[in-house]
């Protein structure tokens, strides 16, 4: 199958956002008097990618109401500080440039709230590479990755030709979200997921660097 549209995840695929996200999770858990769960920032990298509400519930055993409070605390630090504790992966802009020159339609499909996705892409001057940029709806805390992907496909005009689109992401929920939407997914291990996680989820290809990603897309 020759793909025509490439849908990219943001955190862990386009940008290395782990520092900002893990420090904001730590801040939120400390405000909930659960600081003992937030001593090791590395262990908090499980929050990079998945929807925050469900991850707070799964990681810290919070009720839905507690998790909503945690998300609120998280954003207290994230919006002024954490969002910018972040940087594009080395070589990713070259990949985007090359793919656009080759005629691919590029889009972003992220679980991060829509306005934050756009802030990050604007900050790093990456917005111009993408025809459509979509994050989750902040008023729908349970919005799934598949739902974000569906909105991207509709806006791109690929709802009826989704076999011509492919997702690119670093975590299992990118792969599962893509599968739910009828797309294949390329997994990248330079982000926050590992080979086993991506393989088990069903990624069709797994690459270890932005350079390798560029090669297989060519």
Query: What SS3 state is found at 121?
Result: helix
Per the CB < 8 A criterion, the answer to whether 136 and 35 are in contact is no
Distance CA 203, CA 74 (A): 30
The angle, 0 to 180 degrees and rounded to 10, between the axes of the packed helices 92-101 and 210-217 is 10
Helices (H), ranges, 2-91: 18-31, 52-60, 64-78
Secondary structure letter of residue 87 according to DSSP: E
End-to-end CA, the chain: 13
- In Å, how far from its chain's centre is CA 109? 7
46-101 residue pLDDT tens: 999 888 999 999 999 999 999 999 999 999 999 999 999 999 999 999 999 999 99
Distance CA 112, CA 144 (A): 11
User: Which segments within 87-196 are labelled E, that is strand?
Assistant: 87-88, 105-113, 132-136, 165-169, 184-188
* Tally of residues, the chain: 218
66-77 residue pLDDT tens: 999 999 999 999
Query: What SS3 state is found at 212?
Result: helix
C-alpha distances (whole Å) from 162 to each of 17, 80, 173, 178 are: 29, 37, 18, 10
- Report yes or no on whether pTM surpasses 0.85: yes
102-159 residue pLDDT tens: 999 999 999 999 999 999 999 999 999 999 999 999 898 889 999 999 999 999 999 9
User: 51's torsion region: left (phi>0), alpha (psi -120 to 50) or beta?
Assistant: beta
163-206 residue pLDDT tens: 999 999 999 999 999 999 999 999 999 999 999 999 999 999 99
**Residues known to be catalytic:** 9
Tokens of 186: 């390329």
């Amino acid at each position: 199958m020759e793909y025509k549209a490439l849908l990219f995840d943001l955190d862990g695929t386009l940008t290395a956002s782990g520092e900002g996200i893990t420090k904001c999770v730590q801040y939120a858990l400390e405000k909930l008097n659960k600081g003992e769960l937030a001593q090791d920032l590395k262990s908090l990298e499980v929050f990079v990618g998945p929807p925050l509400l469900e991850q707070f519930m799964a990681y810290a055993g919070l009720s839905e109401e507690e998790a909503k409070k945690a998300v609120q605390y998280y954003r207290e630090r994230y919006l002024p500080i954490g969002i910018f504790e972040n940087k594009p992966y080395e070589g990713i802009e070259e990949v985007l440039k090359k793919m656009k020159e080759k005629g691919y339609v590029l889009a972003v499909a992220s679980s991060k709230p829509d306005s934050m996705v756009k802030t990050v892409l604007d900050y790093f001057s990456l917005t111009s590479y993408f025809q459509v940029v979509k994050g989750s709806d902040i008023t729908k805390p349970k919005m799934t990755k598949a739902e974000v992907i569906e909105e991207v496909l509709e806006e791109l005009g690929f709802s009826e030709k989704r076999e011509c689109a492919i997702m690119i992401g670093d975590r299992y929920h990118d792969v599962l979200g893509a599968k739910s939407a009828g797309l294949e997914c390329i997994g990248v291990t330079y982000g926050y997921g590992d080979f086993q996680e991506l393989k088990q989820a069903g990624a069709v290809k797994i690459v270890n660097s932005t350079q390798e990603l560029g090669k297989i897309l060519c």
